[in-house]
Structure 1
Amino acid sequence: MTRPVFYNRDLSWTGFNGRVLEEAGKPGVPLMERIRFLSIFSSNLDEFYRVRMPVVMALHANGRDKRAVEENVQARITTRISAQQARFGQILSQTIIPELNELGLSFHYGSELPEALLPSLRAVFFNEILGLLQVSKVESGKQLPPVANNRICQLVVTADRTGAECLYQVYVPAEEAGRFVKVTTQDSEHIVFIEDIIRSFLPALFPDHAINGAYNMKITRDAELNIAEEYGERLPDILEARLQQRELGTATRLLYEPGISMRHLYALIAASGLEKAMVVAGGRYHNLKDLAALPAGGRAASYPVQQPAEIPDLTAAERLHKEIERGDLLIHTPYQDYSPVLRFFNEAATDPDVLEISVTLYRVATQSKIAGSLITAARNGKRVTVLVELKARFDEANNIRWAKTMKAAGVAIVYSRYDQKVHAKVALIRRRNNAMPYLGLMATGNLNETTARFYTDHILLTADQDLLMGLGDLFAFLRSGKQAAVPHFSELLVAGFNLQERFMELIDGEISEATAGRPARIVLKMNNLEERKLISKLYEASAAGVHVQLIIRSICCLIPGIPGLSENITIRRIVGRYLEHGRIFIFGMGAREQLFLGSADWMNRNIYNRIEVCFPLKDARLKEEINEMIRLQLADNLQAVTLDSELENIPMAVSQQPVDSQAAIYQFLAQSTVIKETHSTTP
Structure 2
Amino acid sequence: MTDTYLGDSGLSPDLLDDDFDLDYGDDESLPSDRFLDRELSWLAFNQRVLELAEDPLVPLLERANFLAIFASNLDEFFMVRVAGLKRRIATGIAVPTNVGRPPAEVLAGISARAHELQERHAQAFRTLVKPALDEAGIHIESWADLDDNDRSRVDEIFSTQIFPVLMPLAVDPAHPFPYISGLSLNLSVRVRNPKTGRVEFARLKVPQVLPRFVQLPDDGSGLLRFIPLEDLISNHLGDLFPGMEILEHHEFRVTRNEDVEIEEDESENLIQALEKELLRRRFGPPIRLEITDDMDEVTLGLLMQELDITEQEVYRLPAPLDLGGLFEVTKIDRPRLKYPKQVPTTAVQLLPSDPTSPSDIFGSIARQDVLLHHPYESFATSVQAFLEQAAADPNVLAIKQTLYRTSGDSPIVEALIDAAEAGKQVLALVEIKARFDEQNNISWARKLEKAGVHVVYGLVGLKTHCKLLLVVRQEADGRLKHYSHIGTGNYNPKTSRIYEDMGLLTASDEVGKDLTRLFNELSGYAIEKKFKRLLVAPLHLRKGLLKRIRTETQNAKAGKPSGIRIKVNSMVDEAIIDALYRASNAGVPVDIWVRGICSLRPGHKGLSENIRVRSILGRYLEHSRIFAFANDGDPEVFIGSADMMHRNLDRRVEALVRLTDERHLAQIDYMFERAMADDTSSWWLDEDGDWARHSLDDKGTPLADLQNTLMRRTAQRKRPGTLR
Q: Which bracket does the TM-score occupy, shorter chain normalised? A: over 0.9
Q: Which residue of 1 aligns with 2:65?
A: 36
In 1, the alpha carbon distance for the partners of 2:721 and 2:511 equals: 29
1:144 aligned to 2:177?
A: yes
Which stretches in structure 2 are left out of the alignment for 5+ residues?
A: 1-28, 354-358
Q: Give the corresponding residue for 1:321.
A: 362
| 8 Å Cα contact 2:567-2:627 kept in structure 1 | yes
Give 1:59 deviation, angstroms. 5.1
Asked if structure 1 preserves the Cα contact closer than 8 Å seen for 2:467 and 2:488, the reply is: yes
User: Structure 2 length as normaliser, TM-score?
Assistant: 0.89
**Unpaired segments of 5 or more residues in structure 1?**
none
How has the CA–CA distance of structure 1 residues 351 and 105 changed in structure 2, closer, same or farther, with 3 Å as cutoff?
closer
Q: Secondary structure at the match of 1:290?
A: helix
User: Residues 233 and 316 from structure 1, CA distance in 2 versus in 1: closer, same or farther, beyond 3 angstroms?
Assistant: farther
Q: After the TM superposition, which residues 334-373 of structure 1 pair with which residues of structure 2 at under 5 Å, given as runs?
A: 334-338=375-379, 339-373=381-415
| Cα 1:541/1:56, change in 2 over 3 Å | same
SS in 2 for 1:472: helix
- What SS does the corresponding residue of 2:230 show, helix, strand or coil? helix
Residue identity in the other structure for 2:596: S
Aligned residue among 172, 184, 200 for 1:166? 200
2:368 maps to a residue whose letter is: G
Distance of 1:594 and 1:391 partners within structure 2: 33
The answer to whether 1:3 aligns with 2:31 is: yes
Equivalence for 2:253: 218
Cα distance in 2, alignment partners of residues 476 and 277 from structure 1:
50
Query: Which residue number corresponds to residue 262 of structure 1?
Result: 297
Shift of 1:371: 1.0
Map 1:417-428 to 2 at 5 A.
417-428=459-470
Pairing 1:530–2:572 present: yes
Return 218-227 or 546-555, whichever deviates more: 218-227
Call closer, same or farther: CA 1:308–1:59 in 2, change over 3 Å. Answer: same
Deviation of 1:102 (Å): 1.9
Task: Provide closer, same or farther for how the CA distance between residues 303 and 190 of structure 1 changes in structure 2, counting only shifts above 3 A.
Answer: same
Change (3 A) 1:203 1:274: same
Correspondence 1:19 to 2:48: yes
* 1:564 and 2:606 are equivalent in the alignment: yes
Q: How many residues get paired?
A: 675
| C-alpha deviation, 1:383, in angstroms | 0.5
Q: Is the CA contact (8 Å cut-off) linking 1:252 and 1:277 kept in structure 2?
A: no
Kindly report which structure 2 residues correspond to 1:420-459, keeping only aligned pairs within 5 A, or say none: 420-433=462-475, 434-435=478-479, 437-459=481-503
Match of residue 668 from structure 1? 713
Which position in structure 2 is the counterpart of 1:209?
Answer: 244
Contact 2:85–2:103 under 8 Å retained in 1: no
Given that 2:663 and 2:721 are in contact with CA atoms closer than 8 Å, whether structure 1 keeps it comes out as no
Query: Which of residues 553, 570, 574 is equivalent to 2:595?
Result: 553
Partners of 1:331 and 1:454 in 2: CA distance: 15
CA contact (8 A) 2:62 2:330 kept: no
Task: Spell out the pairing of 1:369-448 with structure 2 (5 A cutoff).
Answer: 369-433=411-475, 434-435=478-479, 437-448=481-492
* Aligned residue among 585, 595, 617 for 2:659: 617
Establish whether residue 86 from structure 1 lines up as the match of residue 119 from structure 2: yes
Distance 1:600 1:297, change over 3 A: closer
| 2:513 corresponds to | 469
Paired amino acid for 1:515: K
Match for residue 219 of structure 2?
Answer: 185
How big is the shift at 1:81? Answer: 1.9
CA, structure 1 residues 226+413, in 2 after alignment: closer, same or farther (shift >3 Å)? Answer: same
Cα offsets for 1:459-489 (capped at 9, x unmatched) = 1000111122111100001111xx3334422
Tell me the secondary structure at the aligned position of residue 260 of structure 1. coil
Secondary structure of 1:191 counterpart: strand
Q: What displacement does 1:612 show?
A: 0.1
Counterpart residue type for residue 237 of structure 2: L
* Alpha-carbon contact 1:360-1:426 (below 8 Å) kept: yes
Contact preservation (8 Å) 2:65, 2:330: no
Q: CA 1:295 to 1:479, structure 2 compared with 1: closer, same or farther past 3 Å?
A: closer
Larger deviation, residues 240-249 vs 574-583: 240-249
**Counterpart residue number, 1:106:** 139
User: How many Å separate the matches in 2 of 1:178 and 1:478?
Assistant: 43
How far apart, CA to CA, are the structure 1 residues paired with 2:470 and 2:268?
24
SS in 1 for 2:321: coil
Change (3 A) 1:393 1:100: same
> Contact conserved, 2:486 with 2:657, CA < 8 A, in 1?
yes
2-side partners of 1:147 and 1:264: how far apart?
Answer: 15
1:68 deviates by 3.0
Secondary structure of residue in 1 paired with 2:433: coil
Identify if the C-alpha distance between structure 1 residues 631 and 140 changes in structure 2 by more than 3 Å, giving closer, same or farther. farther
More deviation in 52-61 or 404-413? Answer: 52-61
Match of 2:340 among 304, 316, 325: 304
How much identity, in percent, do the aligned residues show?
A: 34
Q: Which whole-Å deviations, capped at 9, do the CAs of 1:216-248 have from their partners, x for residues lacking one? A: 111111111121123779433443343233222
Report the counterpart of residue 132 of structure 1 in structure 2. Answer: 165
2:193 pairs with 1:157:
no
Give the TM-score normalised by the residue count of structure 1: 0.94
Q: How far apart are residue 39 of structure 1 and its match?
A: 0.4
Structure 1 residue 192, shift from structure 2 partner: 0.4
CA contact (8 A) 1:560 1:645 kept: yes
Give distance in 2, aligned partners of 1:32 and 1:116.
29
Q: Which amino acid aligns with 1:215?
A: H
Partner amino acid for 2:249? Answer: A
Q: Which residue of 2 aligns with 1:651?
A: 693
Deviates more, 1:15-24 or 1:348-357: 348-357
1:366-422 Cα deviation digits (max 9, x unpaired)? 111111111111111111000000011111122111111111000000002342100
Question: What does residue 291 of structure 1 align with?
Answer: 326
**Aligned pair 1:588/2:637, yes or no?**
no
| Matched letter for residue 294 of structure 2 | G
Change (3 A) 1:267 1:287: same
Whole-Å separation in 1 of the counterparts to 2:230 and 2:369: 55
Instruction: Choose the corresponding residue for 1:195, options 230, 238, 250.
Output: 230
* Structure 1 residues 519 and 654, CA gap change in structure 2 (3 angstroms): farther
Q: Secondary structure of 1:571's match?
A: strand
Q: Out of 525-534 and 488-497, give the one that drifted further.
A: 488-497
